[in-house]
Structure formats: C-alpha cells, structure tokens
Structure 1
Amino acid sequence: MNYALGLGLAATLAGTIATAEVVKPTDVVYVEGAVETSLSGTAGDPQNGAEIMNKGAGNCIACHQVDALSHLPFHGEIGPPLNGVADRWSEAELRGIVANAKVMFEDSMMPSFYRTEGFTRLGDAYTGKAHGDAEVQPLLAAQEVEDVVAYLMTLKEE
C-alpha cells in the first residue's frame, strides 16, 4: 500500500513539474515594460540562451555587440552593446525587453520576440504573401525567452 501511495505521489509531482504554466503572448503582463513572472514557469538555461543569441529567430548579435561572444563573427552596431546589461536592467526588465521591447521603448527597432498580435502587415514567412489563417506564433517560445534572459543575466561588468 505504501509503495502504491509513493508511486502516486511521485506521478503527481512529476505531472506538476512537467506542466509548468506557460504564459501566452497575449496574456503577458507588462508593468512599465517589465515582466515580473516567468513566461514558461521554468528557469532559463544560460547556455541555450547564448546559442539563441547567435542563430535562429533570436540572432541578437546581428544588432548587438556582446564581448562574451566575441568568438562569433558579425556583431551588429544598431542596438546598444549588451556588455554589463545585467548591471543596468533587472531580470524582469530584461524579460520585458526581450518579449516586446516596444512596450518599454516605443520607437525601438528591436523585434517583438514574444508577441502574436497587433502587427501592421504580417507576412507569411518569407513568401512575400499576406499571412494566412494559421495561428501566429511568436519568434521565440516562452522557454527560449527565459533562456535568453538567463544568459543576459550573466553579462555583468567586470
């Protein structure tokens, strides 16, 4: 009987951990541009965040210089350097900026990485055609935003 109870408790705990509540892009709460609550309910992985900074939908270094990633080519100069960013912004502020920088900085050129509505002209990938009826997906998933924020939190002044 105790064995069965233990298995049931373990399964319940595993189910609770595995079903962390993901905040939908339309449900994100911004307070002066900051987002206090994790979007995925799971801690970010800084190593994966560094990977996202370099490629795919993230590609942060296309616009920002990051000395810690100096081994990668082609750092951009249109966004501010991210060196020491964790000393300038809180985790909540960084989460808000990555999710949708336009909330904090109205005229920002930075893409909204965790947004699915309110676009002026939404295209269908790179086809040159208007977006179809499919549900719009954010550029980064909730966990990817958390991973990027976790990486950014490692970038402190030396």
Structure 2
Amino acid sequence: MVGLALTGLLLAASPSAGEEVGSYAVSGDAITQPLVGARGNPARGAALIADRQRSLCTLCHSGPFPDAHLHGTLAPDLTGIGTRLSEGQIRLRVVDMKRLAPNTIMPSYYRIVEEESRRVATAWRSKPILTGADIEDIVAYLATLKG
C-alpha cells in the first residue's frame, strides 16, 4: 500500500528537464565525486528538501525542515545526518539507495530502471527524478545538518 502511494506521488512530481543520467563511480557505500562539476548549494538544497512536489523527502523523512506537521515517519529522521554520514555516503543514498538496501521504499533519484519502465509514466521514462545539480544541492544541505 505504501509503495502504491509513493508511486502515485512520484508520478505527480515533475520529471527532470530531459537530463540524462551521467556516469558515476561507487566506492564502498559512497559516491565520492560530485555528479556535476561543482559542489552543491546548501540553500537550494534546503528548498528542495522542503518541496514536497519535487524531492518528496519530507513525505517519508522528518528533520529540521519547515512544516514539521507534514513530515513522514516511514524513514529515518535526517537530523544530524551530516555527522553520521560523509557527503559521498549521502550522495549514494540519494542517487540509488536500492544499491544498499534493495527492498527500500526510497526511490532512486538519479538512476534509470528500464526493467521497471512499464510502471513508470511516459513523462518519466528514461529520465532521473532529480538532476545531478539538484542532488548535489541536497547533499550540500544535508551535510550541514550536524546537530
């Protein structure tokens, strides 16, 4: 039931503006290099985290974000995530948490799953949910959450 609800919400969000998924290297439990040429902007990352139509983070996660009454409880609280995980570890979790936990309900935000394309709306096929720059902004913001 949760999976169906999450799928519906993902379909309601806007797909990335035609961005193709770039290459990245996974080292252990991290993607150590940024997905794009520059580091992310924490302010833009905070805005993305709070945007339930684009990132959907607060649908499942709680943390030090606006509108606490709308935070989900299906996934870990992100308070202090920057203390617990490195930027590379955060990046892999946002890019493709399924690599670490295959049965997770967290979507892969920067991975194309062709074998699942029959369950994906046409507007989403062969596109990541977020751009590489969006992910870098989210990583930059989450890395600041030290408390």
- Give the TM interval when normalised to the shorter protein: 0.7 to 0.9
The structure richer in helix per residue is 2
Total equivalences in the alignment = 127
Could you say which structure has the larger radius of gyration? 1
1:75–1:136 CA distance, 2 compared to 1 (3 A)? same
- Does 1:50 pair with 2:40? no
- Structure 2: how far apart are the matches of 1:123 and 1:93? 28
Q: CA RMSD, aligned part only?
A: 2.1
- The residue matched to 2:44 in structure 1 has which SS? helix
Between 1:90-99 and 1:70-79, the stretch displaced more is 70-79
- Structure 1: how far apart are the matches of 2:120 and 2:107? 16
- Does 1:63 pair with 2:56? no
The answer for the alignment partner of 2:6 in structure 1 is none
Deviation at 1:26, TM superposition (A): 5.7
- Unaligned runs of 5+ residues in structure 2 are 1-19
Q: Contact conserved, 1:33 with 1:101, CA < 8 A, in 2?
A: no
- Unaligned runs of 5+ residues in structure 1 are 1-23, 126-130
The answer for the alignment partner of 1:25 in structure 2 is 21
The TM-score with structure 2 as length reference comes to 0.77
The percentage of aligned residue pairs carrying the same residue is: 30
- Structure 2: how far apart are the matches of 1:59 and 1:115? 16
Between 1:25-34 and 1:147-156, the stretch displaced more is 25-34
The answer for the alignment partner of 1:151 in structure 2 is 141
1:1-158 equivalent positions in 2, closer than 5 A: 25=21, 27-55=23-51, 56-66=53-63, 68-125=64-121, 131=122, 136-157=126-147
Q: Which runs of 4+ in 1 moved over 6 A?
A: none
Deviation at 1:103, TM superposition (A): 1.0
The answer for the alignment partner of 1:9 in structure 2 is none
- What one-letter code is carried by the residue in structure 2 that aligns with 1:108? T
Q: Which has the higher contact order (CA 8 A, sep 6+)?
A: 2
Q: Contact conserved, 1:26 with 1:115, CA < 8 A, in 2?
A: no
Deviation at 1:33, TM superposition (A): 3.0
Q: Contact conserved, 1:30 with 1:103, CA < 8 A, in 2?
A: no
1:29–1:48 CA distance, 2 compared to 1 (3 A)? same
- Structure 2: how far apart are the matches of 1:28 and 1:107? 22
